[in-house]
Structure 1
């Protein structure tokens, strides 16, 4: 049987059709493979990372980034490469989903910084943060993970909120989009060292604001009725809260997102919890502050949240910090000095921290899965 070269404009599927036809043809055209590889290169939308700075730029410019860590000598890497290229061709969208590849022999610093110890390894990032890792040449797992992300991105592009779609994927819920260039680093909070003063013991505990899931108050009424009752924290004897938050490494803090969703079900305004209004931040304390102590001490930064700062859909306010004052941070004390309203208590559903982490993880020795160098 003879082979006809397809016209330009065919999708990536045609490349695999041609490979299949080649296996059935006893006399393929002499230029079959050279033209096939040329078409793959021409149609590929995968970004080859050339430096650590280049990789950072890509992570900051795309909502979702998929990265293939590979080596030229790795057989399994070559075997799964056509599947990866097909996904890249079908699902890449500027600013939304970007496929990248990192040659671990050429970019050893990047491979070490992400603790890549086997090849191929695929990392998936959302808002600059790693959310999934696939180790080895597993086309089915890769296909399923990437297509799920593509569906989430499509939902967000159609008018949904990207932070809402993250809740359905098992990733950390964000009440507002992460600031550009600064990912969510809430996972660095040392929850064993938390210390909250004037906390109502009948509501949530000190770990509640850092739960990764979406607040129950944003669910439908049926879910709320049968869901968790202590899904937020409230102040106890008055409106003030003192929150001591230590971190597991040194950070640079850019901003804090606070979610507060007072129900408004009470007939009395005095009984309805308020949203935080006046916040004072104190940095690098070895322990919590007393309320009188905080009154006598100058704050690193004082912020007043305006009613217009609260997102009407998620009940979240973005609190931007003076970045130059929040370098090399090991802990922060947030003093909720007053609430917005006439109530007697203040409510917080979620807290998210954004910025840069300090020391990197321990480096490992590179290995490969199912293939030996030189074979």
Structure 2
């Protein structure tokens, strides 16, 4: 049981992100009516779920000296805003005084909070989540400041992957679990824990979204085996083309002929220890996105197959109002 902590400095906040596995931050201002309305509910969540060094609930006054920079760092432009951090990285961002939404998001973490008594999960290699049943997906690289993993916004039923080997499921790419290849000796069972291409190295992945999103970063994990001399070992992707707002998947000839929203070349040095390439997108071109087509053009090697283990989409979900003066959610500006 724990009470909320009023943040007094950026250094204090940074220290809590390092010492507490989960941090739930309430960004507010004294003049914000909705902030005051939801404050008792937030305090009750802190009392019922807070645990020292495991789950810490904090309040950040965006107009207080010494902490203004925190709101700017995490792109807080509306009040109240609640940001949930997991192992120091942004996991969720909630705008507005909506108790139901806040409780639902924190509820996903409740099992982690109850069971976590061993401190923070191991760092290194850039992994920012542990995966499993806690509701937060494993990621092979840290999140950029101010953005969240919006892979849950994908309409899973509309996923389509062309030229995939029939032994693999496209949904595996968005699994919340850590790739089995990173757990040495772990059996993946009958269903493969990754995706491979079929007749050549090209893949076309169509990902529709449940609502319009803004994409900032693409994280691709590829873990082909290295302890084999088999000539048919799959490759990591090298050239990727991205297409936005398509009503359906493209054909391979069509993808070759039309101009992409962005072309990406992944070099050997772009892959981290978790086998993940953290790819920054041209953010201005990825606003108000309703679908994304990922075209793997070729692989890095001489094989005829390409392997993908996980795909994570990082950005902002839903519509975002214009940047400017901080406003109270639900109130007209200037009131």
State the shift of 1:258 in Å. Answer: 0.5
1:299 aligns with 2:260: yes
Aligned mates of 2:158, 2:50 — CA distance in 1: 47
State the shift of 1:45 in Å. Answer: 3.6
Bigger mean CA offset, 347-356 vs 259-268: 259-268
Correspondence 1:1-375 to 2 at 5 A: 45-47=5-7, 62=17, 64-67=22-25, 83=47, 87=51, 90-91=52-53, 99-101=57-59, 124-126=84-86, 127-130=89-92, 146=113, 151-153=118-120, 155-156=121-122, 162-163=127-128, 165-167=130-132, 169=134, 171-202=136-167, 204-221=168-185, 223-224=186-187, 227-269=189-231, 271-312=232-273, 314-359=274-319
Aligned mates of 1:264, 1:250 — CA distance in 2: 39
Aligned positions, number: 279
Aligned mates of 2:113, 2:165 — CA distance in 1: 43
State the shift of 1:220 in Å. Answer: 2.1
State the shift of 1:236 in Å. Answer: 0.6
Helix, strand or coil at the partner of 2:152: helix
Q: 1:332 to 1:160 in 2, by over 3 A?
A: closer
Bigger mean CA offset, 250-259 vs 126-135: 126-135
Q: 1:81 to 1:263 in 2, by over 3 A?
A: closer
The ranges of structure 1 where at least 4 consecutive aligned residues each deviate by more than 6 angstroms after the TM superposition are 68-74, 76-79
Aligned mates of 2:44, 2:208 — CA distance in 1: 43
State the shift of 1:193 in Å. Answer: 0.9
Q: Which has the higher helix share?
A: 1
Aligned mates of 2:158, 2:112 — CA distance in 1: 35
Aligned mates of 1:311, 1:287 — CA distance in 2: 32
- TM-score, with normalisation over the residues of structure 1? 0.62
The question of whether the paired residues in 2 share the 8 Å contact of 1:152 and 1:162 is answered with no
The question of whether the paired residues in 2 share the 8 Å contact of 1:152 and 1:165 is answered with no
State the shift of 1:339 in Å. Answer: 0.3
Aligned mates of 1:73, 1:294 — CA distance in 2: 51
* Aligned counterpart, 1:371: none
State the shift of 1:246 in Å. Answer: 0.8
State the shift of 1:346 in Å. Answer: 0.4
* Aligned counterpart, 1:22: none
Aligned mates of 1:185, 1:267 — CA distance in 2: 38
Q: Give unmatched runs, 5+ long, in structure 2.
A: 29-33, 62-77, 94-100, 321-335
State the shift of 1:46 in Å. Answer: 2.9
- TM-score, with normalisation over the residues of structure 2? 0.69
CA offsets 1:1-44 (integer angstroms, 9 cap, x no match): xxxxxxxxxxx99xxxxxxxxxxxxxxxxxxxxxxxxxx9xxx7
State the shift of 1:320 in Å. Answer: 1.2
State the shift of 1:298 in Å. Answer: 0.9
* Aligned counterpart, 1:27: none
Q: Give unmatched runs, 5+ long, in structure 1.
A: 1-11, 14-39, 49-53, 104-108, 115-122, 361-375
Aligned mates of 2:46, 2:317 — CA distance in 1: 35
**Bigger Rg over Cα:** 1
